[in-house]
Amino acid sequence: MEFKNRRLKISLVIGVAVLFWAAGANFYRGNVASLATGEETYKGLKLFTDVIELIEKNYVDEVDSEKLMQKAIQGMVRSLDPHSSLLPPEAFEELQVDTHGEFGGIGIVITMKDGILTVVSPIEGTPAYEAGILAGDRIVEVEGETTQDMELWEAVKKMRGKKGTKVVITIMREREPEPLEFILIRDTIPIESVKAKMIRPGYGYIWVTNFRDNTTDDIVAALNKFKRQSSPLKGVILDLRDNPGGLLNQAISVADLFLDKGEIVSIKGRLETQKKSYRAKSRGTITDFPMVVLINGGSASASEIVAGALQDNKRALILGTVSFGKGSVQTVEALRDGYGLKYTIALYYTPSGTSIQAQGIHPDIVVKQRWLDENENREDEIRLKEKDLKNHLEVVPEGMPRPQMQPDEDSESPKTPHMRIHESRHSPLDIETLNMDHQVMRALEVLMGYEIFKTAVNE
């Protein structure tokens, strides 16, 4: 009986392995080079099954074959780049939460950096944001459980939950000698992605916190509201700082809103079917005012597409610091038994042909966020970037070989000066807060200076 069970498990291993091999062969169908690697792939699969069988028979402890296979496949996929992974059924289900839907959580974008759960950015208006959790914070415990060997999807699932319930997370922060414990009450993560305010007569400010299915419509509504003011609209500040991205179609739509022609972004993959270019359409374009776009190290993915498109098409000046540099395109394929595979298929390129991947968008005017405490003025040193992630993809000139991959607080606690400044800088929109924001004020100076220069030239 034991022999039969073992043979059944080995057959399952072979079945799963062949599934991935067959999917890969189908994916690269028509590629002559893939035929040459078929024999090597088969040898690798045979080695894989030999190892599994030996471990099952001889390892000091009894092993769970299914978990062993999951970890083997996960290791294989993760060695590709930090955004590719095998998704167990629970993780695949979490990923399919619609962007227009609601879920209970604390409101942070997270990634794995050197095997450590790390905050990319908090989402504006959420419990994590209000508590003062910062980009670059390393989450070491969730509900008292270490995150050392925790999968990304497991951490997400533990932090999500019913609105009104409590979750405790412990973080390590740069220049904080002791761990900080945060007791957070889960809330419904808001779907609002756009906030807007007239900061001076004729000068509007639009803050896009992420790209959801209604972002373009909300920006149009904000612009229409500006135009109903007594003063004519002379300029707009589009704030994409700490915007982790979102829907590609919305990024293209937002860029198209301000461009009447030209390329917005191109996508280039290994296969011809993965190459595509998106261009602006003249219909519905709004071009009757100058723009300044704000970015920083927390601006990623979709926000980088918008900034790059407006910069390369000379539609807006980009002000701030270098963006995150997440310029890769992932797809998700459904597998058997509820599993999913998320993997990278292409890279984004700005209209000038520049890759965003691990490079980021470089501002036309570099302006760092000025902290009230000058000792805190180290934004670029502590902020996590795509290039800091293990196995991140490097972009090389066309025709050159790609480099080899690298191997493998209690809510009542006193807050640090850095946390207090962060809350001041990111508090809900009001004129006083915006007047204290150094980057916003510099952007306003640029727009007002342009208006003065234009008026002087025309006189």
- Cα separation, 329 vs 343, in Å, equals 8
- Cα separation, 394 vs 397, in Å, equals 10
- Cα separation, 165 vs 162, in Å, equals 6
Per-residue confidence (pLDDT) for residue 376, from 0 to 100: 42
Tell me the three-class secondary structure of 226-250, residue by residue: HHCCCCCCCEEEEECCCCCCECHHH
Question: Residue ranges of the alpha helices (H) in 267-383?
Answer: 302-312, 379-382
Apex 9 CA angle, 7 and 12, nearest 5:
110
Q: Give 408's contacts (C-beta < 8 A, 6+ positions apart).
A: 75, 79, 391
Q: What is the largest CA-CA distance in the chain?
A: 96
**Catalytic-role residue among 65, 187, 303, 326:** 326
Query: Can you give the residue ranges of every domain in the chain?
Result: 2-78, 93-188, 194-330+344-395+429-455
Is 326 tagged catalytic?
yes
- Pair 208, 194: CB distance under 8 Å: yes
Per-residue confidence (pLDDT) for residue 50, from 0 to 100: 94
- Cα separation, 372 vs 379, in Å, equals 13
Per-residue confidence (pLDDT) for residue 194, from 0 to 100: 93
Per-residue confidence (pLDDT) for residue 428, from 0 to 100: 59
CATH number of 93-188: 2.30.42.10
Instruction: Return per-residue pLDDT of the chain as tens, 459 residues.
Output: 444 444 434 444 444 443 344 444 444 444 544 555 678 888 889 999 999 999 999 999 999 988 899 889 999 998 999 889 998 888 787 766 544 556 789 988 888 888 889 997 787 778 999 999 998 899 999 999 999 888 888 898 899 999 999 999 999 998 899 999 999 999 987 667 899 999 999 999 999 988 988 999 999 999 999 999 989 999 999 999 989 898 899 999 999 999 999 999 999 999 998 899 999 999 999 989 999 999 999 899 999 999 999 999 999 999 999 999 999 988 889 999 999 999 999 999 999 999 999 999 999 999 998 643 344 444 454 566 777 777 788 775 554 434 333 333 333 333 333 333 344 344 457 888 899 899 999 999 999 999 998 877 776
Question: Residue ranges of the alpha helices (H) in 259-387?
Answer: 302-312, 379-382
φ/ψ of residue 324, rounded to 5: -65, -45
**Catalytic-role residue among 65, 301, 303, 328:** 301
- Cα separation, 379 vs 321, in Å, equals 9
Per-residue confidence (pLDDT) for residue 421, from 0 to 100: 36
**Taking the chain, what is the end-to-end CA distance rounded to the nearest angstrom?**
96
- Pair 302, 245: CB distance under 8 Å: yes
Per-residue confidence (pLDDT) for residue 241, from 0 to 100: 94
Q: Which string of DSSP letters, residue by residue, matches 109-173? A: EEEEETTEEEEEEEPTTSHHHHHT--TT-EEEEETTEE-TT--HHHHHHHH---TT-EEEEEEE-
**Catalytic-role residue among 187, 239, 312, 437:** 312
Q: Classify domain 194-330+344-395+429-455 at the CATH topology level.
A: 2-enoyl-CoA Hydratase; Chain A, domain 1 (3.90.226)
Q: Give 199's contacts (C-beta < 8 A, 6+ positions apart).
A: 205, 237, 431, 434, 435, 440, 444
